[in-house]
Amino acid sequence: MGKQFGSRATADEVLKDFDFTGKNAIITGANSGIGFESAKALAKVGAHVILACRSASKANEAIDKIRAEVPNASLEFMALDLASFPSIEKFTKALKIDQVDLFIQNAGIITDAYNTTPQGHEMTAGVNHFGHFYLTKLLMPLLLKGKARVVVLSSESHRQTLGLNLKKWPQSEKDFGFNSSYAKSKLANVLFATELQRRYGAQGLTVASCHPGNMVTTNFGEGTALTKVLFKLISPFTKTPAQGASTSMYCASQPDSFVAGNYFSGNEKTTPSFLARNKKLAVELWDYSESEVAKYLKQRK
């Protein structure tokens, strides 16, 4: 049974009684918002944190901010663009650690403009799902060596889609809608997390997915004009990034048996949507993702 915290708890409060000294943590999108607060909270309890981000300047600025508060913080920036499979490969080859103890799949986007990744995936699906899938695949030896905890940030938005037809996903430009694309990618996050647990739990991985909270005040919504305005209007009623990061930290720190394969919201175990609990769909998504990776590798030769 996990320790009980309120939905307004902060990341620091969740980790207050934990010591991550000697643990290696990778956080995607750690230069701002929830990822930044997660990196700071983990640094405070002794973890070596790798900030996996696109922008060197923003990541180094984040590191300076954390070290101003935590002078002995063990932090490292490594360049990573989740839209680019070659960037993911370069990131994993450049790692200097011998194992990964904690992997927080925090980075995510939402955009109202249709774009594709270099691999040809619709951008939201490409970053939110396929990029993390390929990164996990390449990190697997280090994850298994560390018997890692993997935390996949999803969203309650995963409930806002009626299906995930893999023959039509990722969406084409003709069928693109930013809310639909985001919801499907967040459903994919939950399905991926549960299938990752099923496949690798016996080898030591512990995997959870989570919703950080409704309307956390970050720069996430700046991807579309509509969400940017909406986030501004409701900002007096939202969670802070430190409160939003608490659910990630909760999943990172609670007992294996409590966390494994489950979905969390507001620091509580929660039942995801009916579709997210579809084991057949989870297997189909995994197999489809593997086929997309294989297609990329074949084209690369």
pLDDT string in tens for the chain (301-residue length): 788 887 789 999 999 999 999 999 999 999 999 999 999 999 999 999 999 999 999 999 999 999 999 999 999 999 999 999 999 999 999 999 999 999 999 999 999 899 999 999 999 999 999 999 999 999 999 999 999 999 999 999 999 998 999 999 998 899 899 899 999 999 999 999 999 999 999 999 999 999 997 655 555 455 556 666 655 554 545 678 999 999 999 999 999 999 999 999 989 999 999 999 999 999 999 999 999 999 999 998 7
Q: How many residues does the chain have?
A: 301
Q: How many beta carbons lie within 10 A of that of residue 77, not counting itself?
A: 21
Note the pLDDT of residue 300: 85
Note the pLDDT of residue 229: 63
Instruction: Specify the pTM.
Output: 0.92
Instruction: Say which amino acid occupies 89.
Output: E
Note the pLDDT of residue 107: 97
Note the pLDDT of residue 175: 87
Sign of the dihedral through C-alpha 26, 107, 251, 32: positive
Full set of structural domains in the chain with CATH:
11-300 (3.40.50.720)
From 134, 182, 200, 263, the catalytic residue = 182
| Contact call for residues 35 and 29 (beta carbons, < 8 A) | yes
Told to judge if 114 belongs to the known catalytic residues of this protein, a careful annotator would answer no
Nearest to 148 by CA among 207, 106, 193: 207
How distant, in Å, are the alpha carbons of 152, 200, 202, 234 from that of 2?
A: 18, 22, 21, 31
Instruction: Say which amino acid occupies 244.
Output: G
180 DSSP assignment:
H
| Contact call for residues 266 and 247 (beta carbons, < 8 A) | yes
Give me the sheet containing 268-270, strands edge to edge: 74-79, 48-53, 24-28, 102-105, 149-153, 206-211, 263-265, 268-270
